[in-house]
């Protein structure tokens, strides 16, 4: 399975050099409705879900990927307005949860004694992978990670490249000014080899595509 991680150039260089990705925290995600895709009847329900979100955030993080790097909106939002880089990984499909996009919130189990939401394990899993329909352009898949607090660096957590998540491609954005040879030098010791390409805005479609002229030379 091939997945893509779009990011500004400076972070991509650090990711490649250190062979790792920063683990995102649930509390820091850019969608305020993360873990909130459920029917909320009143303020008590809302407080219950805020507590659930806070509890899950303590020991859990995630990695977010797209199934494709061709969508220009993704480059605009996550790769510093097309100046960034997409890191392409070959990964075990069993690692991932596919994000489901919904037009409406769903109901969860209510405790009959307290009249408060008490989501089942399956419902919590669904909350972790459900987003509002308009995010569907991301075509997102997620890896959920149990945080090892002993490895925290300046408040951050990282996931190393390994046999389950192998870097195979580096795609420079249409406006990325980094020399392609510099990136090829950075990945030359990787096994299996990493393909490095430059992208451009397509002619005739609303896509970002490989720029074969700018990619000339050994990959």
Domain ranges of the chain: 2-210
Percent over 70 (pLDDT), the chain: 98
As a whole number of angstroms, the distance between CA 137 and CA 205 comes to 16
The structure tokens listed for 147 are 């945080």
Over residues 15-68, the pLDDT tens digits come to 999 999 999 999 999 998 999 999 999 999 999 999 999 999 999 999 999 999
Which pLDDT band, with edges at 50, 70 and 90, does 212 fall under?
A: confident
Q: What per-residue confidence (pLDDT) applies to 213?
A: 79
Over residues 92-132, the pLDDT tens digits come to 999 999 999 999 999 999 999 999 999 999 999 999 999 99
Q: Does pTM surpass 0.85? A: yes
Cα torsion angle, 175, 64, 148, 193, sign: negative
Q: What per-residue confidence (pLDDT) applies to 216?
A: 63
Over residues 125-168, the pLDDT tens digits come to 999 999 999 999 999 999 999 999 999 999 999 999 999 999 99
The structure tokens listed for 70 are 């061709």
As a whole number of angstroms, the distance between CA 53 and CA 74 comes to 26
Over residues 70-98, the pLDDT tens digits come to 999 999 999 999 999 999 999 999 999 99
């Amino acid at each position: 399975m091939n997945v893509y991680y779009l990011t500004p150039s400076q972070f991509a260089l650090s990711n490649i050099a250190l062979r790792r990705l920063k683990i995102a925290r649930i509390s820091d995600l850019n969608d305020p409705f993360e873990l909130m895709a459920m029917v909320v009847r009143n303020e008590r329900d809302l407080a219950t879900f805020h507590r659930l979100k806070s509890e899950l955030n303590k020991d859990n993080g995630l990695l977010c990927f797209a199934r494709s790097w061709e969508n220009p909106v993704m480059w605009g939002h996550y790769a510093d307005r097309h100046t960034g880089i997409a890191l392409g990984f070959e990964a075990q499909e069993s690692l991932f949860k596919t994000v489901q996009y919904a037009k409406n919130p769903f109901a969860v189990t209510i405790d009959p004694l307290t009249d408060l939401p008490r989501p089942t394990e399956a419902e919590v899993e669904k909350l972790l992978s459900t987003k509002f329909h308009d995010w569907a352009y991301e075509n997102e898949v997620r890896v959920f990670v149990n945080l090892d607090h002993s490895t925290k660096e300046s408040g951050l957590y990282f996931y190393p490249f390994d046999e389950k998540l192998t870097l195979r491609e580096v795609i420079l954005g249409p406006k990325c000014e980094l020399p392609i040879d510099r990136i090829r030098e950075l990945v030359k010791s990787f096994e299996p080899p990493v393909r490095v390409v430059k992208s451009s805005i397509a002619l005739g479609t609303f896509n970002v595509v490989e720029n074969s002229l700018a990619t000339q030379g050994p990959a």
